[in-house]
Structure 1
Amino acid sequence: MRIVDLGGGALGPGDEAPHEPGPELLWNESYYFDFVSEDGELGGYVRLGLYPNWNRAWYWACLVGTDGRRHMVVDHDAKLPTGADLDVSGDGHTATQRTVEPMEAVRLTLAADDLRLDLEWRTAGGVYGYALTSRYEIPCRVSGTVDGRPFAGHGQRDHSWGVRDWWSVSWLWSSGRLEDGTYLHGMQANVGVALPWPAFTVPPGGQVEHVEGFSAATEFAGDRPSTARLAFPGLGTTVEPLADAPVELTSPDGALARFSRSMCRFVTDDGRVGHGWTEWHQPPGWREHGWGPLL
């Protein structure tokens, strides 16, 4: 198992479990899982966010399709799970999360009124650890069932822990897989300075490799992102949203942020096509945060 650790902390199998929380109100432990079918027509994501000092969990799950379907479970008042099992339930939904093999495989289930998931994320290419925060990302093959029907595709999962103030900084995060088997990932926060942003690629059948010099830019149609450009050195990529699954987030003092997340089509400048997920976080005043001209 290849683990690329850029200095955010020594990563190991034990990091799959919840961590000891800090004292801050917005200290958060976050688990994300997204998926897209091989043909790019069906996808979704799940997020579990633990706020021990706010005494709640956030649970989101969605399923979208290019045919216009969209099913959403959004619960911002779920009861905090206890112990090693990360199970949550709320009005009309019950979900489980199990580490099958640390850093190798995780299985999720969801039973909701209009959405049922039973999926496993299995590592493809290794683990990527961030440099500036306690976080890692894992490109994955995804298989199981969606609403009782067999599913096979790809995706990514990530796990982070620390203070997360959703109402202060905007960012773009993007992860996809091309038709030749190449995985792409990049993240950029709009903080007014250029930093060594977390980015990696995985060649077909290969291992995670850190990429220097990633940058991104976005155009919007109203509040909706209409297109983005990802600049990996030597590999420009256009991102086109296909199906949206946004969530609105209210802070403890009532501030409102829009979390735009979309299943997307990826097209590289050399003509390769793929699919994945991209998010554009839009806190108060997000239009002034500087999304950059298209590259």
Structure 2
Amino acid sequence: MRIVNMGEWPLGQEDERHHEPGGEPLWNESWYYDFVSEDGEVGGYVRLGLYPNWKRAWYWACVVTKDGIVTHLDHDAPLPDADLTVAGAGYTASHRTTNPLRTVRVRLDSADLALDLEWRTAGGVYGYAITPRYEIPCEVTGTIGGTPFRGHGERDHSWGVRDWWSISWLWSSAHLEDGTYLHGMRANLGLELPWPAFQAPPGGEVEHVAGFSAATSFDGDRPRATVLRFPGMTTTVRPIAFAPVTLTSPEGAVAEFPRAMCAFETEDGRRGHGWTEWHQPPGWREHAWQSPA
């Protein structure tokens, strides 16, 4: 298993566990799990975010199709135990690392939504340079509502200060029909930085990609299309089904988080599916969003 770490902090199996929290009010530890079926008909994501200095957790789970969405959102969940099990009003959710950096099992039991899925690492592990965070492309199998599921996705784990109400960003990941995994992220700061981006070729390993950029067009506040530019390859991303979340700070500031299952198509005709997010804090239009050429 290849580990590509662009940061100066060490990255190893121990990072799958909890980290010692900082004293900042916005210190957060987060686990994300995305998935899309092989045919692109069903997708979803789970996020567990710990806010120890608020004495609470955020738990999000959603499943989308072209015809609808089922969500379970709890912004006042109890902090989980050491194995990341959360028991809130009407639901129990667990997030268990069965083999560090290789396999994770996620379960949700609730009246509205039932998940039992496993993420298996495909291509290796990618560590960020800017912040303690890593992303892992995965094969995903299991059941949704008792129905067998098979597809692909990505999971990530991050820790540190995250201010949802001041920084706008784009994040996108996909699996293409030929087996390629893509990932790119950039914050909208009006600066050109070495943004976290990687590709993993069919059956190959994760490789950092320098020079990643992205541009988005909007219909009002809703993203309409994004163009991802990797060196030598341009990919167009179009939302299929949105699963948005609204985030309110302790001071009452509101940020919108329009996350969507998307169709991806490269300029050479390869297609695939994945997830994209366009985070919109207060004043986000003042940042460096662009329209694709």
TM range (shorter): over 0.9
Counting aligned pairs with the same residue, the percent is 69
Q: Which residue of 2 aligns with 1:258?
A: 256
* Greater shift in the superposed pair: 189-198 or 7-16: 7-16
Q: Which residue of 1 aligns with 2:106?
A: 108
Q: Which residue of 1 aligns with 2:80?
A: 81
Distance 1:292 1:222 in 2: 14
Distance 2:6 2:19 in 1: 19
Q: Which residue of 2 aligns with 1:71?
A: 70
Superposed CA offset, 1:86-136 (max 9, x none):
011222211011000000000000011111000000000000000010000
TM-score, structure 2 length as denominator?
Answer: 0.99
Q: Which residue of 1 aligns with 2:162?
A: 164
Q: Which residue of 2 aligns with 1:231?
A: 229
Q: In the TM superposition, what is the alpha-carbon distance from 1:293 to its structure 2 partner?
A: 2.7
Q: In the TM superposition, what is the alpha-carbon distance from 1:8 to its structure 2 partner?
A: 4.4
CA contact (8 A) 1:8 1:129 kept: no
Distance 2:118 2:180 in 1: 20
Q: In the alignment, residue 75 of structure 1 is paired with which amino acid?
A: D
After superposing on structure 2, the runs of 4+ consecutive aligned residues of structure 1 that deviate more than 2 Å are none
Q: Which runs of 5+ in 1 are unaligned?
A: none
Q: In the alignment, residue 282 of structure 2 is paired with which amino acid?
A: P
Q: How many residues align?
A: 293
TM-score, structure 1 length as denominator?
Answer: 0.98
Distance 2:173 2:19 in 1: 25
Q: Which residue of 1 aligns with 2:238?
A: 240
Q: In the TM superposition, what is the alpha-carbon distance from 1:207 to its structure 2 partner?
A: 0.2
Matches within 5 A, 1:58-207: 58-66=58-66, 68-82=67-81, 84-207=82-205
CA RMSD of aligned residues (A): 0.7
Q: In the TM superposition, what is the alpha-carbon distance from 1:289 to its structure 2 partner?
A: 1.2
Superposed CA offset, 1:228-260 (max 9, x none):
000001110000000000000000100000011
Distance 1:222 1:105 in 2: 40
* Greater shift in the superposed pair: 165-174 or 217-226: 217-226
Distance 2:63 2:111 in 1: 13
Q: Which runs of 5+ in 2 are unaligned?
A: none
